[in-house]
Chain A
Amino acid sequence: MNSNALRIAIPSKGALEKPTLELFVNIGLKVNRPNDRQYVASIPALPAVEVIFQRAADIYTKVHEGSVDIGITGYDVVCEEDKNDGKVIVAYPELGYGKCSLVLAVPDSWVDVVSIEDLAELTLQWKEQNRILRIVTKYQNLTRDWLFAHRIVNFALVDAKGAMEAAPSMGYADMIADVTSTGTTLRENRLKPLHGGTILKSQTCLIANKHALRHDRAKREITQTILELIEASLMAKNFTSITANVQGTSVEEIGKNLTMSPELQEVTGLQGPTIAKVYSDNRPDWYAVTVVIPESQLLPAIQHLRRVGGTDITVFPPRYVFRSHCESSQKLLEMLE
């Protein structure tokens, strides 16, 4: 183990492993893992980084205790395990995958319970009968705090053993609080999420040990590099690059035609179109126009380019979009202060 290396924990097995490895490929930092049974890997592009594969549920703890410096795990895990002592910071909150919701769900057969208000009334009715609502969950802190905040207090949390969704039908709990992305597992186990009962919306995030990054400049700088690449790569997903050949008498004329009204701003690039002369012996009046625009504006932009005489339009996805500064890197420095 290289003690000066930045140690980064990424999820091993489970739903988050594959998309996390893909994320690193996308930002040009492919993780080199000799074989699936090894828990330590490297990133050839960043020699001062050591990758440790961990269960997503353990990554928060590892970052908190400082045995790894940064980690990638679900925001749900971070909120649930949060020790509230400021040792762990969320350096990049939304990596765009692993999206899920922590929901309260009751058996389908509870036809009288549809919303969180129904549940609240049921707990009060049970309190009168000295009965307590048993909720099975791996997210005890989040569930308890959320129910308390909604003035529901007559419940007991049951430790999750094995397949939690089966607990209500097996009888050791009355209902569950668990994460779901599509709702299929809930439906298959005859459970229904309660209206107004979403405790947390989550996705994968990047967390860091505050102490490690604050006191080790090298580790901080590598983390900033990673953040910079992630931010630019995720930003690029929202944009598309279009190049078209446009006939005209001058750069100014084409520029004017393209940007003649302010509402065209969205389809004429981040700062405006780039216009360059096309070299052609027999046709001297052709220009190449390139614009980088939000993905959602693709077709309006193409229509607009056609209107000003554009043809041979090609579209490329940009790999990165770097802005004048990296927002997440700057936020990291603020959080470390």
Chain B
Amino acid sequence: MPHLGIDRAEGMLDFWGEECRQRHLVRYQLIETFQRFGYSLVELPLVEKTELYLRKSGEDIVAQIYDFVYHNRRLCLRPDVTTSVIRAYLKHFPVGSVQRFCYGGTVFRHEPTTNHHQFTQMGVELIGSNRPIADAEVIYTACAGLAKIGMANYSLVLGHIGILQQFLRKLNLSDRLVGILLAGMELLHQEGGKQKLENQLRENYLTKPETQQLAEVFGVMDEVSAREFILELLSSLRIEINGNRDPQEIADRLLSKLKHRDQTHKVLKAIEFMERLVQLRGQPQEVLPTAQELLNEYEIDPQPLRELNQILQILTAFYGQDHLPSYLSLDLGLTRGLQYYTGTIFALLDQRGNHLGGGGRYDDLVFTLGGNCATPATGFSLNLEMVCQALPPPTHPIISVSMTPPKPELIHATIEIAQQLRELLPVHMALEDSVPAGTFMISVAGQNQCHLIDRRTELTYDLSVPQLLEFIANQL
């Protein structure tokens, strides 16, 4: 049987060398930037109880969780950090208090369409404030982080999920349908997306229900007599109602289902509205007036637009200019998947349109996860892998020294010189014959005698120890 090595688990990542060095540097610079805005660093577990994510996360995320049972406990690898931050906030801080946290950590999502199931999120959460200045600060912190690491040519897209949520709520659709429609927004951004969405909805939501006549009959009855009627009807047909469910619950659901009139009209109306929302993209001064007209036409509360406007005004102060940067645009059809967002949302994209990260307001999460009062919150996360991919490769290679393996009688002298050099730059002492490529290669020839090769120029020098230290110091 041939020896077979063990490969890493599917979708997981190894990092080494230059890539790893760049990641480390970017992480450090991002955290340092976040801390400048008053966000305090937190480190939270990779493993959480699965229940934490089942409570509120959107269906998209739940479906991607690395979920497992360990000693009869249902646990998972965290699919995001925000939820863990809120869990920790509820445990360690007074609910409702304003807190700022930042973090950098690995998350795991089993996305069948990609080969990458491991990501690193670098982000912040600002909990306890619903003021537009909080949103603006979070958005600007993300941009300041990108600026710090030298990211150029990215774009910032702002939207507000509240507009669509408000419209769908007014239509009084089932939660299931609302979920499908929210997820469908992504489709509408694509060519032919409307057709795809309609096809998805056709069988269940765009056909006349078979129970149209029953709906009319039950429509004129009050709840109580309708339910009694159903229970009596089922019992007269000898249909036993049990199976771990309360007969009342079954009768009520059946009733609400039977009463459900043809939804085609509502669904088509929703798609029409969504399609118009998706068109509202571009520079704020152009989008906002058109958006105002659309909201007026559909009689939707313009509060989301007011919020966006206030945030944009505060952002100009952050940018220290009287206008907003050109890389900022609005997209009122932005949804960021089926997540827990409730208000302003934003996405950061690189030149090629790849997602670098994003975030937004999630005012319900604290309460859903067990907080005793409604606590607004906002935050963002950057995807470290995507960010590093979009960055140019580092232009300054590390200046370092490789030392050839010391002769036995010169071990002490070699170590002593290496220790002195380490005050100045990284030193790699080769232990075997193969000497790694440093900028300088040094062999110790005697107690106070070194031979140096500058690998960049291939020039050689014979130096005493003080001369060597001076030579190296001058190169840095």
Contact = CB atoms under 8 A, between A and B. Distances in A.
B245 interface: yes
Given A151-B183, A153-B54, A111 B62 contact: no
Interface residues of B, number: 29
A329 B465 CA distance: 72
A117 B260 CA distance: 14
B243 A124 contact: no
B243 A168 contact: yes
Interface in A103-135: 106-113, 115, 117-118, 120-122, 124-125, 127, 132
A151 B241 CA distance: 28
B36 interface: no
Nearest to A106: B243
Contact of B250 (A109, A120, A153): A109
Interface in B222-250: 234, 239-245, 250
B239 A121 contact: no
Contacts of A132: 54
| Chain A interface bracket (under 10, 10 to 19, 20 to 34, 35 or more) | 20 to 34
Given A151-B63, A153-B54, A111 B179 contact: no
B253 A151 contact: no
Contacts of B239: 108-109, 111
Contacts of A168: 243-244
B180 A151 contact: yes
Nearest to A171: B244
Nearest to B9: A85
Contact of A151 (B179, B203, B245, B250): B179
Interface in A125-157: 125, 127, 132, 148-149, 151-154, 156
A113 B251 CA distance: 11
Contacts of B176: 117, 120-121, 124, 151
A52 B63 CA distance: 39
A207 to B, nearest CB: 20
B10 interface: yes
A85 B243 CA distance: 40
Nearest to A170: B244
A124 B54 CA distance: 11
Contacts of B183: 151
B63 A148 contact: yes
B172 interface: no
B54 A154 contact: yes
B389 interface: no
A174 interface: yes
B241 A109 contact: yes
Given A109-B239, A109-B240, A111-B239, A122 B63 contact: no
A117 B204 contact: yes
Interface string B41-63: 00000000000001000010011
Interface of A is mostly: mixed
A84 interface: yes
Contacts of A115: 204
A118 B250 CA distance: 12
A274 interface: no
A109 B180 contact: no
A149 B62 CA distance: 11
A125 B244 contact: no
A132 B74 CA distance: 14
A249 interface: no
A132 B50 CA distance: 13
Contacts of A106: 243
A225 interface: no
Interface of B: 2, 10, 54, 59, 62-64, 74, 174-176, 179-180, 183, 203-204, 234, 239-245, 250-251, 253-254, 257
Shortest beta-carbon contacts, A-B, top 10: A107-B243, A148-B63, A112-B254, A153-B62, A112-B253, A151-B59, A109-B243, A124-B175, A117-B204, A121-B176
Interface of A: 84-85, 106-113, 115, 117-118, 120-122, 124-125, 127, 132, 148-149, 151-154, 156, 168-169, 171, 174, 196, 215
Given A85-B10, A153-B59, 4 more contacts: A84-B10, A110-B243, A121-B253, A154-B54
